[in-house]
């Protein structure tokens, strides 16, 4: 038994949940925040048999593509004067995936 922990962008989470559910995988969704932009992420927990790990990862890869977005960065200012946010291009999306062994699983 394996536990797949996938951290994905909020914009991809709804479609990914649909695809995983269609493929008959049980998924637990957790709201999370991270990254230097403090943007919304979703952490998904998927428990699968070892032979199903690649199927889940392939679904994640199909849905969670990286893309470029323009974000407003706030420059660091020492005093309280006004500032103009600087637009920067950042890469968002994709997924961070962890696969861990499960020693014991019970559903009661």
Q: Is 38 left (phi over 0), alpha (psi -120 to 50) or beta?
A: left
Give the pLDDT confidence of 9-41 residue by residue, as tens digits. 888 999 999 999 999 999 999 988 776 556 678
| Contact by Cβ (8 Å): 41, 33 | yes
> What pTM was estimated for this model as a whole?
0.79
Let me know if residue 31 belongs to a domain: yes
List alpha helices for the chain, DSSP H: 10-22, 53-63
**5: nearest Cα among 93, 95, 67:** 95
In a domain, 43, yes or no: yes
Which range marks the domain in which residue 33 is found? 2-101
106 within some domain: no
Tens-place pLDDT, residues 56-69: 999 999 999 988 87
- Report the CATH number that the domain containing residue 9 is assigned in CATH: 3.30.70.120
Domain count, the chain: 1
Report which of 93, 105, 103, 102 is spatially closest to residue 10, judged by C-alpha positions: 93
- Assess if residue 64 is contained within a domain: yes
66 found inside a domain = yes
């Amino acid at each position: 038994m394996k536990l797949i922990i996938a951290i994905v962008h909020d914009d991809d989470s709804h479609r990914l949940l649909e695809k995983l559910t269609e493929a008959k995988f049980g998924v637990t969704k957790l709201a999370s925040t991270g990254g230097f932009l403090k943007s919304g992420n979703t952490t998904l927990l998927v428990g699968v048999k070892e032979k199903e790990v690649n199927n889940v990862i392939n679904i994640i890869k199909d849905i969670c593509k990286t893309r470029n977005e323009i974000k407003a960065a706030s420059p660091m200012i020492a005093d309280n004067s006004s500032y103009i946010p600087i637009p920067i291009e950042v890469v968002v999306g994709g997924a961070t995936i962890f696969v861990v062994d499960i020693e014991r699983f019970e559903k009661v």
